[in-house]
């Protein structure tokens, strides 16, 4: 009853088309299957980045409330782990259906809180939905191994078992996709979960919790707490949490990796990026330039797989002018407007930081061929907008190159050879993704072999793998052993038990041997 009341109020409030229809909403925690108002006196405003309107308020969850969430997850675990995997899968089959039903509402909430265009927000939900679809085959995904007769009358087999309570800490840039990278895989493996969404845009995660409940996920299997550093540290320190999934910046990710690992937890930490594209002169020019513009400026550059640096090789250098034309043709507007190609960046502080990095590039000798810093967008004069910006003649020692900018800023570099271009990328500390555009199989194969990045695109600008593979960032873009989703995701959320069984008629009087048993 309580859930349906809140569901109505949450969905209608969070997705109201205009602020006049919307009453200010303090986001509840979600504990033991109930939406519970936090008793905390402190909260953070969730702000629409296109308008600066306060959409809702996120409480800084108290320690008691956090403990209650972990306790609910711990209590739910014994019966959930013993629930047949086929039943768990069926809940995911229902969940994917409900996400499809409500995809427009989810997308609208994402656009309101995060700023990206509605079409892009649909993509955000859809890429998460694909992970839910993948978990519908969990029985097959967690099959163990069996070897009969490893010794006379003895068989050995392995089984994958859930870990217990797991936790997830999310960034702002994909408010639906990243929670969906985490809890569906974890709970379908038989774990229970405590999720902390980004304090900047928690709405989509709340809607997903409502949908998971409607799909039949039992109380306590998924819990949501809000907050920032204290909630994160509480997750890292809690003895009952066995594994932590993190996606976000390097500062937070390395802190969480160190602190949670020190408490004996498994951690998978996906972090920052500086993704490069190499453009060879034999590439298809139009297709390449379109791909560069889409992957550089889509989502206002706030994707961890955004292509933020282009390395033009040899005869492709003059294409830079055409890149500029395409960038200038993009329409900057609030994400809710149908003609918007890119929306605002997430906060005023993010805008200031991006503008500072652009300026540092100029000061250190880069050429500012497109400057989006002083753009104003009619009707949305208060929005955190930055237009497509291109810095040319960028060198590897510039701050704008070394730092992840995370905004609509494309850096251009030039080299004479593919070897030099690969060398630039390999010397960069990040290793999330890298792409090459070429019509030469030999160049593509050399790139694939020599490049030090976890996700490689060949004529593909944003090579984010579908969920039957894993998201495989490397170098400073990832800490841990087992990546998100795919086979590795299932391995992350399960531990292996290896059973050795003996069923044979033992001859009487065979005596006792204290020697180390060996295969007979």
- Closer of 262 and 496 to ligand NAD (Cβ): 262
Kindly tell me which residue out of 123, 168, 175, 248 binds ligand NAD, with binding defined by CB under 6 A.
248
Strand pairing category for 222-224 and 389-392: unpaired
Nearest-angstrom CA–CA distance, 13 and 26 = 11
Minimum CB separation from ligand NAD for residue 151, in Å? 45
Residue 68: alpha-carbon gap to chain centroid: 26
Q: How far is CA 135 from CA 96, 142, 408, in A?
A: 10, 10, 34
Q: What amino acid positions are annotated as catalytic residues?
A: 304
Kindly tell me which residue out of 251, 349, 376, 417 binds ligand NAD, with binding defined by CB under 6 A.
251
275 in contact with ligand NAD (CB under 6 A): no
Minimum CB separation from ligand NAD for residue 130, in Å? 15
232 in contact with ligand NAD (CB under 6 A): yes
Q: How far is CA 300 from CA 73, 152, 307, 355, in A?
A: 37, 64, 11, 13
Stretch that binds ligand NAD, among 142-150, 213-221, 243-251, 390-398 (CB under 6 A): 243-251
- Closer of 297 and 406 to ligand NAD (Cβ): 406
Minimum CB separation from ligand NAD for residue 223, in Å? 15
Are 410 and 455 in contact by the 8 Å Cβ rule? The answer is no
489 in contact with ligand NAD (CB under 6 A): no
Nearest-angstrom CA–CA distance, 312 and 418 = 9
3-state secondary structure at position 152: coil
Kindly tell me which residue out of 304, 334, 340, 405 binds ligand NAD, with binding defined by CB under 6 A.
304
Kindly tell me which residue out of 389, 477, 483, 494 binds ligand NAD, with binding defined by CB under 6 A.
477
Minimum CB separation from ligand NAD for residue 72, in Å? 20
Are 389 and 323 in contact by the 8 Å Cβ rule? The answer is no
* Burial (Cβ within 10 Å: 0-12, 13-18, ≥19) of residue 3: middle
Nearest-angstrom CA–CA distance, 235 and 406 = 27
Residues near ligand NAD (CB under 6 A), total = 29
252 in contact with ligand NAD (CB under 6 A): yes
3-state secondary structure at position 454: coil
- Closer of 194 and 232 to ligand NAD (Cβ): 232
Minimum CB separation from ligand NAD for residue 484, in Å? 7
Are 389 and 373 in contact by the 8 Å Cβ rule? The answer is yes
Handedness of CA 166, 187, 305, 169 (dihedral sign): negative
Of 159-178, binders to ligand NAD (CB under 6 A) are 169-174
Nearest-angstrom CA–CA distance, 3 and 26 = 16
Residue nearest to ligand NAD (CB): 248
Among residues 493, 492, 490, 432, which one has the least CA distance to residue 464? 432
Kindly tell me which residue out of 96, 333, 432, 491 binds ligand NAD, with binding defined by CB under 6 A.
432
Kindly tell me which residue out of 271, 295, 324, 451 binds ligand NAD, with binding defined by CB under 6 A.
271
- Closer of 173 and 223 to ligand NAD (Cβ): 173
247 in contact with ligand NAD (CB under 6 A): yes
User: What mask of x and - would describe binding to ligand NAD in positions 384 to 413, judged by CB under 6 A?
Assistant: --------------------x-x-------
Stretch that binds ligand NAD, among 116-124, 246-254, 322-330, 356-364 (CB under 6 A): 246-254
480-505 as b/e: b if 16+ CB within 10 A: bebbbbbebbbbbbbeeeeeeeeeee
107 in contact with ligand NAD (CB under 6 A): no
Alpha helices in 316-385 (DSSP H): 319-328, 348-363
Kindly tell me which residue out of 15, 111, 245, 270 binds ligand NAD, with binding defined by CB under 6 A.
270
Are 154 and 143 in contact by the 8 Å Cβ rule? The answer is no
116 in contact with ligand NAD (CB under 6 A): no
53 dihedral zone (left: phi>0; alpha: psi -120 to 50; beta): beta
Of 200-229, binders to ligand NAD (CB under 6 A) are 228-229
> Interface residues with ligand NAD (CB under 6 A)?
169-174, 196, 198-199, 228-229, 232, 247-249, 251-252, 255, 270-273, 304, 404, 406, 432, 471, 473, 477
């Amino acid at each position: 009853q309580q859930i349906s009341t809140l569901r109505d109020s949450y969905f209608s409030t969070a997705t109201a088309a205009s602020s006049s229809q919307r009453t200010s909403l303090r986001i509840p925690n979600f504990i033991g299957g109930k939406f519970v108002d936090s008793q905390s006196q402190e909260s953070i405003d969730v702000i629409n980045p296109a308008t600066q309107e306060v959409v809702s308020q996120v409480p800084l969850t108290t320690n008691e409330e956090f403990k209650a969430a972990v306790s609910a997850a711990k209590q739910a675990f014994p019966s959930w782990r013993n629930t047949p995997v086929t039943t768990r899968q069926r809940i995911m089959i229902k969940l994917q259906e409900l996400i499809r039903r409500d995809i427009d509402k989810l997308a609208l909430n994402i656009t309101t809180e995060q700023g990206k265009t509605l079409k892009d927000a649909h993509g955000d939900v859809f890429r998460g939905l694909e992970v839910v679809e993948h978990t519908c085959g969990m029985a097959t995904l967690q099959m163990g191994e069996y070897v009969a007769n490893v010794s006379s009358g003895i068989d050995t087999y392995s089984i994958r078992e859930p870990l217990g309570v797991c936790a997830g800490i999310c960034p702002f840039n994909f408010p639906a996709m990243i929670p969906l990278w985490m809890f569906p895989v974890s709970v379908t493996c038989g774990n229970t979960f405590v999720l902390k969404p980004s304090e900047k845009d928690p709405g989509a995660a709340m809607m997903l919790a409502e949908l998971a409940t409607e799909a039949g996920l039992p109380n306590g299997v998924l819990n949501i707490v809000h907050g920032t550093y204290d909630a994160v540290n509480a997750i890292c320190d809690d003895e009952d949490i066995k594994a932590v999934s993190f996606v976000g910046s390097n500062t937070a990710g390395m802190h969480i990796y160190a602190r949670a690992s020190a408490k004996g937890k498994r951690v998978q930490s996906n972090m920052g990026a500086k993704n490069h594209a190499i453009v060879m002169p034999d590439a298809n020019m139009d297709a390449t330039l379109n791909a560069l513009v889409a992957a550089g400026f889509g989502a206002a550059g706030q994707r961890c797989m955004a292509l933020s640096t282009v390395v033009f090789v040899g005869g492709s250098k003059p294409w830079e002018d055409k890149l500029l034309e395409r960038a200038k043709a993009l329409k900057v507007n609030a994400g809710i407007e149908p003609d918007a190609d890119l929306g605002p960046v997430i906060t005023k502080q993010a805008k200031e930081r991006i503008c500072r990095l652009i300026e540092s590039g100029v000061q250190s000798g880069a050429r500012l061929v497109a400057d989006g810093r002083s753009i104003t967008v009619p009707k949305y004069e208060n929005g955190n907008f930055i237009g497509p910006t291109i810095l040319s003649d960028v060198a590897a020692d510039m701050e704008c190159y070394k730092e992840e900018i995370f905004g609509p800023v494309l850096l251009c570099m030039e080299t004479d050879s593919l070897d030099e271009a690969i060398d630039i990328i390999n010397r960069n500390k990040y290793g999330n993704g890298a792409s090459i555009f070429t019509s030469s199989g030999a160049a593509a194969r050399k790139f694939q072999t020599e490049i030090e990045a976890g996700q490689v695109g060949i004529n593909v600008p944003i090579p984010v793998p579908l969920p039957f593979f894993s998201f495989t960032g490397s170098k400073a873009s990832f800490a841990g052993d087992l990546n998100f989703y795919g086979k590795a995701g299932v391995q992350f959320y399960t531990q292996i038990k290896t059973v050795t069984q003996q069923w044979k008629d033992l001859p009487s009087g065979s005596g006792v041997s204290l020697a180390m048993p060996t295969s007979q």
